Amino acid sequence: MTASVPSRLRLTRPRRPGLVATVATVGLLAVAGCAGPAPQSTDGTETLSLVATLGGLDTAGYERALEVRDFVFPEDHGPHPGFRTEWWYVTGNLTSREGRTFGFQFTIFRSALAPADPGGPSAWSTNQAYMGHFALTDITGEDFRSEERFARGGAGLAGAQAEPLRVWIEDWELSAADPAATGTVRASPFPMTLRADGKGVDLELVLQSGKPRVLQGDRGLSQKGAEPGNASYYYAHTRMPAEGRVTLDGQTYRVSGLAWLDREWSTSALSEGQVGWDWFALQLDDGWEMMVYQLRLEDGSADPLSDGVLIDPAGRRISLSWGDQVTVTPTGRWRSPVDGAEYPSGWRVTVPDRGWDLSVEPAVLDQELRVAFRYWEGAVRVEGVGERGRPIRGRGYVELTGYAGAGIE
């Protein structure tokens, strides 16, 4: 299987919760490595079925997220090869000195294609494969671009290490910014450097830690389905100051802003009846953040395991029970030009007990990644009423999966 995973593959050009890594990494790399052609939409674009890909995954031999554990750093910044999937997921909003605004997504997924490393003397011998997604939204220019890469975790093509932190696919990487950290035990990988490029696009940022990391779910155990082990270990840095440069079609902009890092690892899949999710990561101008995700069922309702959390300006975590303490209501729709797949576009997010009432709108309507799994992920604008009824604005990112290709199986 691993021998047939290409060192680099681009399927298409123009995917929070972090479940997208389960979909994209496990399913896609398994298909790319050992299965037949992917299904095709009506226009010939290669797609993969979300539900079919997640069905029947063999978890034998892998570690499972079964109970609350102690997080250990710097080790947990790095890879967890005993689990099937893992991701380093960064999104953010940036503004140039001239006032031009951008959004970006950078994700590296690791997938174990078998529980055990095959060993052997060859540098190509590995059971690990990697996938990367990079997208840049030029909000001012109303332009969206995305890239996808694949590489096996051997011969230096791709990999991950904890100390000093480095996660990479070819020249895309997220790494500890200080090279002098080599061989020095540090509980924090910050500052970190993020580098990615694509057709006409180049991004380089330095990320600071900002607030303390947040353990999501139950002390870092985030349950995604009712079955034991259908969960992830999940922490986040929700407000990372970012500074660097964006080069777009030869024009370089010095930029600054805020980024969000999600870290998850798991051996899990969607439960029966779950068809996708809507994930929100919102950074508000008064120092608060909100993370909400809705796991959608076949009838369109929200799974009770959908989750929400507020982070106050001091970094304290406030859990929100779905439906009672947080609601998300679509306010509009958008159709993909590929096949007419319909996504929600615009939302009202409320936290009634605390007086929150937010309007969330896409910064650009079309931010659909037309990669092996089609999904919408993009920059959004936020305004409304926040803590204690105060007017508030902000920016953030939204991810929508399970909408495209629903009838192309």
Domains of the chain listed by start with CATH number = 2-64+75-400 (2.40.370.10)
Produce one character per residue of 126-165: b if its CB has 16 or more CB atoms within 10 Å, e if not. bbbbbbbbbbbbbbbeebbbbbbbbbbbbeebbbbebbbb
Cα–Cα distance, 53 to 46 (Å, whole number): 14
Q: Which residues partner with 289 through β-bridges?
A: 283, 311
One digit per residue, pLDDT tens: the chain, 409 residues? 222 222 222 323 333 333 333 333 333 444 333 333 333 443 444 555 444 443 346 788 999 999 999 999 999 999 999 999 999 999 999 999 999 999 999 999 999 999 888 888 888 889 999 999 999 999 999 999 999 999 999 999 999 999 999 999 999 999 997 656 545 556 789 999 999 999 999 999 999 999 999 999 999 999 888 888 888 999 999 999 999 999 999 999 999 999 999 999 998 766 778 888 999 999 999 999 999 999 999 888 898 999 999 999 999 999 999 988 999 999 999 999 999 999 999 999 999 999 999 999 999 999 999 988 899 999 999 999 999 889 999 999 999 999 986 433 2
Locate tokens 């270990």: which residue?
233
Q: What is the per-residue pLDDT for 18?
A: 37
Q: What is the per-residue pLDDT for 182?
A: 46
Q: Say what the pTM is.
A: 0.87
Q: Dihedral sign for Cα 399, 405, 407, 409, please.
A: negative
Locate tokens 């155990």: which residue?
221
Spell out the residues 6+ positions from residue 326 whose beta carbon is closer than 8 angstroms to its own: 292, 308, 320, 349, 350, 351
Cα–Cα distance, 247 to 401 (Å, whole number): 29
Strands of 60-157 (E only): list them: 85-96, 101-112, 128-138, 143-152
Q: What is the per-residue pLDDT for 130?
A: 96
Residue 234: which of 29, 55, 80, 25 has the closest Cα? 80
Q: What is the per-residue pLDDT for 290?
A: 97
